[in-house]
Chains A and B, each alone.
Chain A
């Protein structure tokens, strides 16, 4: 399988604070296409920082990040924006959706940014919302959806741009156990059937159990990187 992401000697130091914080302290990692990987570790260990660096939302202090073999660390702001739009799907812990748009419009929105034709947008939005089990909620605004449903719309939105991989930072942190299970099941199915690459952070044991690969961070370094039992 192809290496989609390569990280070499990565450091991130936050210097805006009184005492500089070494959030990422020398990380080397590779991610392949089709992975279903959990990044785990206690709060403050650097999960969000790592995902933000991979996603081009932030710049490392040192080291390089290759996406499809291209170093993105010296990309300009606008080049990074384009990279995110075309290559990376994002699911955040909360505030994923535009409140004034319906579920379908939210999924379409990212394709509108990509200037996709209307017909293609609508078809794909319906198809994806169907895949995340929300075919009957397409014209509902986020405010009228449950937390779990909102996260499923966010997954559909992340997929809509046909990204190389999806980064999800604690996507289940605000969900009850039933919604968590549903979301994980949908993500697993997408991974297995459509070969969608997911990299997600969590500190929920039940979520970790579903991952094919588990990377454990502590104090900005990788303390373990193991392949879990494959549940086919």
Chain B
């Protein structure tokens, strides 16, 4: 009954209600669509970062992580790869040698990260080969000695073209400088111009020979899981098997630099030995002896005591992305929240006008026996329904816009060039999951409730005898 009256009351002043509904709808469209745009951009960035640059999971020698020392290799790469390939969650595995080098073409020299890769395997863990235009060669399809695939930005800086020669200077495993001539076999251009300037690929065997590695040695094993969700559990499995933790003198020395709490330091010293723990048991040991609010210290200790293999997921490899994905929700909340806050004041104003206009009617209702809580909920319901109509219209518009541009993409044009330089694509596909729409509806309802508090209070503070007399 009260719901019925509240609903019908909305349409008493069609123009005024339409203006409010329109304002809410447009406001939400703006907030939701811009959130979807940001979220779409981030998701694309995560996606391309995983498939072009970092893959789902990377394995390194735990000591390599400290300062990328050339000698800290994974010594049994091939056995490890065949082992990991058997895991049902794994889609592809590829080994790499990564080494800093100076490249020179007559222009230069420039510092570049050279990656030695096995082309067939690399194509399966990273999509970099797709970023080579037909006219710009290929990802090691052509024959010929010492091919190299470089980024377009690097090519530009070195002023080289397809089939140009480049000299590469590196340091061998033994620490001796060496150099070789490579010939440009492909030029890639991704959305990330920094990557395009800093990265070059050569064949694994060529680099292995140059750097004087054993056949079984590599720096990095990149793994692509069947989907992004499987990454964490695979990481756990690999660490349980291949990562060890030892609290020896070296580890204690490292932990002393971490500014840990005294009780943690003395605990670590007390268990110092050459005993090696696996991941599970070491985490268990730490959990038992370190208080929960020292979680950060735990992570630091894990890092310091790690030996054997280090497994790192995309979240750690691109921490900025991990952080931003965590803030996607917050972003929606802030965008839509600010807009709703502004709209809320408009709603308060409208409902105050409504209460003022209906003073006599409200007085009559109270006079004939409608109690305060019913009057209160009537005004409350009218406000919430009004907001909700606007909210639903707005979300419908947003849904249409997000779906349409989600398929078609929005070209951010000139503005996009700036985005490319920080690794974002200029063609953006806005995206928003269903849960976010639900969250916005809930936010709209709360806005309605908050906006109704004052007008509803105004309504029940009317004195019926005076309200009826009001002219």
Contacts of A158 in B (CB 8 A): 368
B5 touches A98 (CB 8 A): yes
Query: Which residue from chain B places its CB closest to the CB of A59 in the assembled complex?
Result: B465
The distance in angstroms between the C-alpha atoms of A84 and B465, with both chains bound, is 13
The distance in angstroms between the C-alpha atoms of A19 and B1, with both chains bound, is 44
Q: Per-residue CB proximity of B358-374 to A under 8 Å, as 1/0?
A: 00110111111111101
Query: Which residue from chain B places its CB closest to the CB of A52 in the assembled complex?
Result: B465
User: How many A residues face the partner with a CB closer than 8 A?
Assistant: 28
A-B contact pairs, 16 of them (CB 8 A): A48-B469, A55-B367, A57-B367, A57-B464, A57-B465, A81-B369, A81-B370, A82-B371, A84-B367, A90-B367, A92-B364, A95-B361, A100-B5, A112-B1, A113-B368, A157-B368
Known contacts A78-B372, A81-B369, A161-B369: does B9 contact A100 (CB below 8 Å)? Answer: yes
Contacts of B368 in A (CB 8 A): 84-85, 90, 110, 113, 157-158
A113 touches B464 (CB 8 A): no
Query: Which residue from chain B places its CB closest to the CB of A53 in the assembled complex?
Result: B465
A113 touches B361 (CB 8 A): no
**A198 at the binding interface (Cβ < 8 Å):** no
Q: Per-residue CB proximity of B321-361 to A under 8 Å, as 1/0?
A: 00000000000000000000000000000000000000011
**B14 at the binding interface (Cβ < 8 Å):** no
Give 9 A-B pairs besides A85-B369, A98-B5, A98-B365 with Cβ atoms closer than 8 angstroms. Answer: A48-B469, A81-B371, A82-B369, A84-B368, A90-B367, A95-B360, A101-B5, A112-B1, A113-B370
**A96 at the binding interface (Cβ < 8 Å):** yes
B372 touches A84 (CB 8 A): no
**B468 at the binding interface (Cβ < 8 Å):** yes
Which A112-128 residues have C-beta < 8 A from chain B? 112-113
Q: Count of A-B contacts with CB under 8 A?
A: 63
**A58 at the binding interface (Cβ < 8 Å):** yes
The distance in angstroms between the C-alpha atoms of A90 and B468, with both chains bound, is 12
Contacts of B8 in A (CB 8 A): 100-101
Which B1-20 residues have C-beta < 8 A from chain A? 1, 5, 8-9, 11-12
Q: Per-residue CB proximity of B91-115 to A under 8 Å, as 1/0?
A: 0000000000000000000000000
Which of A82, A96, A161 is the one whose CB lies under 8 Å from B364?
A: A96
Interfacial residues, chain A to chain B (CB-CB below 8 A):
48, 52, 55, 57-58, 77-78, 81-82, 84-86, 90, 92, 94-96, 98-101, 109-110, 112-113, 157-158, 161
Contacts of B468 in A (CB 8 A): 57, 92, 95
CB of B396, distance to nearest CB on chain A (Å)? 26
Contacts of A58 in B (CB 8 A): 463, 465
Query: Which residue from chain B places its CB closest to the CB of A99 in the assembled complex?
Result: B12
The distance in angstroms between the C-alpha atoms of A55 and B468, with both chains bound, is 13
Which of B1, B9, B360, B464 is the one whose CB lies under 8 Å from A109?
A: B1
Known contacts A57-B465, A92-B364, A95-B468: does B371 contact A78 (CB below 8 Å)? Answer: yes
Contacts of A90 in B (CB 8 A): 364, 367-368
CB of B415, distance to nearest CB on chain A (Å)? 50
The distance in angstroms between the C-alpha atoms of A112 and B468, with both chains bound, is 22
The distance in angstroms between the C-alpha atoms of A112 and B370, with both chains bound, is 10
Known contacts A57-B465, A95-B364, A95-B468: does B369 contact A86 (CB below 8 Å)? Answer: yes
* Minimum-distance CB pairs A-B, first 8: A85-B369, A100-B8, A57-B465, A95-B360, A58-B465, A52-B465, A84-B369, A112-B1
Contacts of A48 in B (CB 8 A): 469
Contacts of B363 in A (CB 8 A): 95
The distance in angstroms between the C-alpha atoms of A113 and B364, with both chains bound, is 14
Contacts of B360 in A (CB 8 A): 94-95
CB of B320, distance to nearest CB on chain A (Å)? 55
B361 touches A99 (CB 8 A): yes
Which of A84, A113, A157 is the one whose CB lies under 8 Å from B374?
A: A113
The distance in angstroms between the C-alpha atoms of A58 and B468, with both chains bound, is 12
Contacts of B367 in A (CB 8 A): 55, 57, 84, 90, 92
